[in-house]
Structure 1
Amino acid sequence: MDPRRVLVFREVARSGSLSAAARGLGMTQSAVSQQLRLLEREAGVPLLLRTTRGTRLTEAGEALLRRADAVHTALHLAGQELGALSQLRAGAVRLASFPSGTATLVPPAVRSLHADHPGVEVTLVETEPPEAWASVLAGESDVALVFGYDGPPHDDGSLAWVPLGVEAMYLVLPPDQAVPDALGAPWLAERDWVAGCERCRQHLVACCRAAGFEPRLLHESDDYVVVQSLVAHGLGVTALPELALSAFRHADVVVRRVDWFGRRHVGIVHRPGAERVPVIRALMERLQESARVVLA
């Protein structure tokens, strides 16, 4: 049965006459009558008896009215729920983010979203860009905060990319080493190195090779706090991006900007069209605001 005709039938049953139902629905009486005839044809039994005083429900009509009331209630509740979502009185969004982005860009963005829309729930999973990208593709996350070295991450067209900013790379050195003003390949080739995540390690090695030496990698950690602690204790040198140093800066390290380490491009990826979902759009806007401050 056509649910629209069921709702017309409900209005007739509740108002007691075709003319009253027509006024309530903003339809002509003949249009209401036609919808009822079609509904009875679909039902296969009479639903209403016309009398001089209006209409009276048959037994089948009584049964259908109970269902029609349930349909009307469900649609009313759906309208209220959709209204709450569209006006951000409710809703949930799932975010995946790499560690230094989680520490710097995410907290002010989520705090701002909660301040404006307390009913919105944000869930966060911390993961590196390849896994974050995959989680959006798999539908496990709505938005992912990711980065790419010297350009956005490789894009096969499956996700939309929203750039947030570009961060510089820095050489991080122990405090007690005699560091030359010109950091050349011969001096750096003699250092021990601390490497980060797999992609960061690959980028580090590629940059060092391009500069003319092979880095001697002795230590590895995905944690930029651990990496800086190792460097601070004289166990090696490393390269870290701006966000990692903004999130945590060990008091006993020396930081030098080195252009040949390139730059990291930070941005958001999401499924095409997801930006039209109010709660997703609201989180993305807050992340953009956060990036304008942190990556300024």
Structure 2
Amino acid sequence: MEQPAETLSESIDPRRLLIFREVAHRGSLSAAATALGWTQPAVGQHVQRLERDLGMSLALRSTRGVTLTEAGVALLAHADAMASRLAAADEEMRALRTLRGGRLRLAAFPSACAALVPEALGRLADEAPDLDVRLTELEPAQAGAAVLAGEVDLALVFQYVGAQDEDEHRDLTIQPLMDDPVLAVLPAEHRLAGRVGASRGIALADLARERWVAGCPRCRTHLHSLAVDAGFHPDIRHSTDDYVVVQSLVAAGLAVALLPRLALSAFRDARVVAARISGNPARRISVIHRREAATMPAVQAGLRALVAPQPVG
């Protein structure tokens, strides 16, 4: 008999191992051939080649069938284990493909978590009730980094229209969802409150002498940019990312603010009013993912749930 191969990868052909397993369990070459849909000589050749590769006999042939040798019994245990793992892998892939299992990791910024994500996840739960969905609150820059690092699968992000950061996610697939208007938030008794609902909105320059409350660095940069274009530098007295706190400060007459409509739809303090701003500034909300993730069934289902968000007002 030929000298055995030096390594496992050289000595055991997985396909031949499964053919040997079929012979061992069926009890004969002919029964295995019938089960596999092959000819008996073809099955016998594969078993013989496996024996040559291993350098030992695996089964004794007779007119009554086959009897495993000690080596055959030992190898059959490994063949059974491999067949079991292959069946488990096939079942797991089938479950992922049909969304009977799997996981989707989603990141979103705070106002999207409050106003967009719950309904989207509700739609996703209807489509794929067994999908394990995990939500993490992250600001856009952190969310983009998490997607690139493979820590999340999908992320909702925003970019202010016309801002210099519009290409920050260029290494990812970006699918725009909606433009979210940015509104001026004023105390209900403010001198400009009567202009709420005016077709042309209010001019930001009319708020040049006001004190301001601003939030995240991206939002603060946007406020500065709009204010400079309007001919002034905003007097920012308060800083918070919490749009509930922002509205409370505005309601108390301590400041005015800019907030996206989405944040106001998530929570609206009855003591404040929101007015359109001349020029209609807005932020663009998009969903991002790695390009290679586009074929993942869980990601595809997540995109379907997110791309048609309910109108916010």
Aligned match of 2:186:
173
Aligned match of 2:3:
none
Amino acid paired to 1:175:
A
Aligned match of 1:141:
152
Aligned match of 1:221:
240
CA distance in 1, matches of 2:278, 2:206: 17
Per-residue CA deviation, residues 60-87 of structure 1 (Å, 9 max, x unaligned), is: 0010011111111111122112111111
Q: Give 1:66's match in structure 2, choosing from 67, 70, 77.
A: 77
1:253 and 2:272 aligned: yes
CA distance in 1, matches of 2:16, 2:52: 11
Deviation at 1:155, TM superposition (A): 4.1
CA distance in 2, matches of 1:23, 1:209: 82
Aligned match of 2:251:
232
Specify the SS of the correspondent of 2:99: coil
Amino acid paired to 1:127:
L
Specify the SS of the correspondent of 1:165: strand
Deviation at 1:273, TM superposition (A): 2.2
**How do residues 97-246 of structure 1 correspond to structure 2 at under 5 angstroms?**
97-150=108-161, 153-155=166-168, 157-179=170-192, 181=195, 183-184=202-203, 186-246=205-265
CA distance in 1, matches of 2:240, 2:22: 68
1:56 and 2:50 aligned: no
Could you tell me whether the CA contact under 8 Å between 1:167 and 1:265 is conserved in 2? yes
CA distance in 2, matches of 1:112, 1:184: 40
Aligned match of 2:295:
276
Q: Taking structure 1 as reference, are residues 90 and 226 closer, same or farther at Cα in structure 2, changes over 3 Å only?
A: same
CA distance in 2, matches of 1:178, 1:140: 48
Aligned match of 1:36:
47
Q: Taking structure 1 as reference, are residues 15 and 184 closer, same or farther at Cα in structure 2, changes over 3 Å only?
A: closer
CA distance in 1, matches of 2:204, 2:297: 51
Normalised by the length of structure 2, the TM-score is 0.89
Higher mean alpha-carbon deviation, 174-183 vs 248-257, is at 174-183
Could you tell me whether the CA contact under 8 Å between 1:104 and 1:294 is conserved in 2? no
Deviation at 1:227, TM superposition (A): 0.6
CA distance in 2, matches of 1:199, 1:263: 13
Normalised by the length of structure 1, the TM-score is 0.94
CA distance in 2, matches of 1:41, 1:24: 24
CA distance in 1, matches of 2:53, 2:171: 44
Per-residue CA deviation, residues 152-175 of structure 1 (Å, 9 max, x unaligned), is: 842464211111111111111111
Aligned match of 2:311:
294
Could you tell me whether the CA contact under 8 Å between 1:167 and 1:295 is conserved in 2? no
Could you tell me whether the CA contact under 8 Å between 1:167 and 1:242 is conserved in 2? yes
Could you tell me whether the CA contact under 8 Å between 1:185 and 1:213 is conserved in 2? no
Specify the SS of the correspondent of 2:189: coil
Q: Taking structure 1 as reference, are residues 213 and 178 closer, same or farther at Cα in structure 2, changes over 3 Å only?
A: same
Per-residue CA deviation, residues 189-233 of structure 1 (Å, 9 max, x unaligned), is: 110011011100001111110111111111111011111111111
CA distance in 2, matches of 1:122, 1:52: 58
Q: Gaps (5+ residues) in structure 1?
A: none
* RMSD, matched Cα: 1.7
Could you tell me whether the CA contact under 8 Å between 2:202 and 2:278 is conserved in 1? no
CA distance in 2, matches of 1:100, 1:199: 14
Aligned match of 2:20:
9
